[in-house]
Amino acid sequence: MPTSATPRGKTANLLFSDQADFHTASEGTYLATPFYSENLGESEPQEADPLLGTDRHNNRDQTGPAPGLVSMSGEVVVPMDVNHLPYWLTMLFGSPVTSGDGPYTHVFTSGGEVLSYRTIEVEKRAGAAFFQNVGCLAAGISFDTARASGFRQATVSLVGRSQTKLAASKGGSVAEQLPLGQIPAAKGLMRINGVDAANFLGGSFNYQNNPSASDDLTGDKYLAGYALDEDASCNGSGRVRYVNDAYYDIMAAGDPVSMELEFSLSQSARILLSLPTVRFEKAPFAPVSGPGGLQAEFNWRAEQTAHKAMLSVTVENGVEAYNV
């Protein structure tokens, strides 16, 4: 008897399109983008119901449950790709300011108060099962900055409204996928006050929109939407080889510095994250734990200024516009 084909991640596809409102799946033209993994899903826990006076077999076993609150969330791990990452940046920050006539420069800025909801469709069983995630909002993005093998990846955190399994795709006539422009994980650069940071071994980067659920009654079991009432935040960590006191002096002084993280394929294909004001948290520096070389770790926190947003992301590539 021959083997049978079973669902595999290799056959998965991800399509997306922005919605007109939180509750209604997009009916527009969908776009396709690559991804490494996803775990989007709807949760509805069952809770104990302390109802008394019902029929029962005994007085010890638990009885039927009450419904918990429905929630939807998950993460999508995506490539740090100069062509495809802007699709996720539009979820996080809104539409960019685009300039140039090829290559093009797209500038995304934190601090926006209006962000779009998105329908994300994941094909999990080739041609037979399509999971439609409605009302997706980008909660945050994080990635590691250390030198590594392979291609650099980022994790996009999402919240949403609901998930439905479909027998056929609702993506319609999907536009041709953009070419890949993946950035090797071995490449990266940090600058402090405009100067390339020496002895930098890597660290972490984390931006959060911090959306809060809107619990208005809607006539069904789902959320009414999300609000951006809390401050957005951006922080991270760094690890350096201890050869002098430069990083210690920054921590000890507590004065703000500017920071940049750059990941590039070429001069006309790169991703630049600019943080105009960053403060290093004071902490034990370069602890001695043996006879080997010393390393120091530090945490940092970004903030806005009177004239600049907390974070701007500049993407240079050959894509003229990002109309989602």
Mean pLDDT of 172-180: 92
pLDDT class of 323 with cuts at 50, 70, 90: confident
Residue 253 within any structural domain of the chain = yes
Tens-digit pLDDT profile for residues 278-288: 999 988 888 88
Residue 322 within any structural domain of the chain = no
Tens-digit pLDDT profile for residues 165-174: 999 999 988 9
Tens-digit pLDDT profile for residues 196-246: 988 899 999 999 999 999 999 989 999 999 999 999 999 999 998 888 888
Here the tokens at position 51 are 């109802």
Residue 304 within any structural domain of the chain = yes
Residue 109 within any structural domain of the chain = yes
Report percent pLDDT > 70 for the chain: 100
Which CA distances in Å does 149 have to 143, 180, 181, 183? 15, 18, 16, 11
What would the 3-class secondary structure string for the chain be? CCCCCCCCHHHCEEEEEECCCCCCCCCCCCEECCCCEECCEEECCEECCCCCCCCCCCCCCCCCCEECCCEEEEEEEEECECCCHHHHHHHHHCCCEEECCCCEEEEEECCCCCCCCEEEEEEEECCCEEEEEEEEEEEEEEEECCCCCCECEEEEEEECCEEEEECCCCCCCCCCCCCCCECECCCCEEEECCEECCCEEEEEEEEECCCEEECCCCCCCCCCEEECCCCCEEEEEEEEECCCCHHHHHHHHCCCEEEEEEEEEECCEEEEEEEEEEEECCCCCCCCCCCCCCEEEEEEEECCCCCCCCCEEEEEECCCCCCC
Are 309 and 110 in contact by the 8 Å Cβ rule? The answer is yes
Using the predicted structure, report yes or no on whether residue 292 has a pLDDT greater than 80: yes
Q: What is the extent of the structural domain holding 22? A: 10-41+69-167+180-317
Please compute, for residue 126, the number of CA atoms within 13 A of its CA located in the half-sphere on the CB side: 7
Residue 55 within any structural domain of the chain = no
Mean pLDDT of 58-83: 96
Residue 126 within any structural domain of the chain = yes
Residue 204 within any structural domain of the chain = yes
Total number of domains constituting the chain: 1
Mean pLDDT of 161-190: 94
Residue 64 within any structural domain of the chain = no
Please tell me the predicted confidence (pLDDT) of residue 324: 78
Please tell me the predicted confidence (pLDDT) of residue 312: 98
Tens-digit pLDDT profile for residues 104-118: 999 999 999 999 999
Please tell me the predicted confidence (pLDDT) of residue 186: 96
pTM, two decimals, is 0.94
Using the predicted structure, report yes or no on whether residue 4 has a pLDDT greater than 80: no
First to last CA, the chain: 47
Please tell me the predicted confidence (pLDDT) of residue 239: 92
Mean pLDDT of 6-21: 91
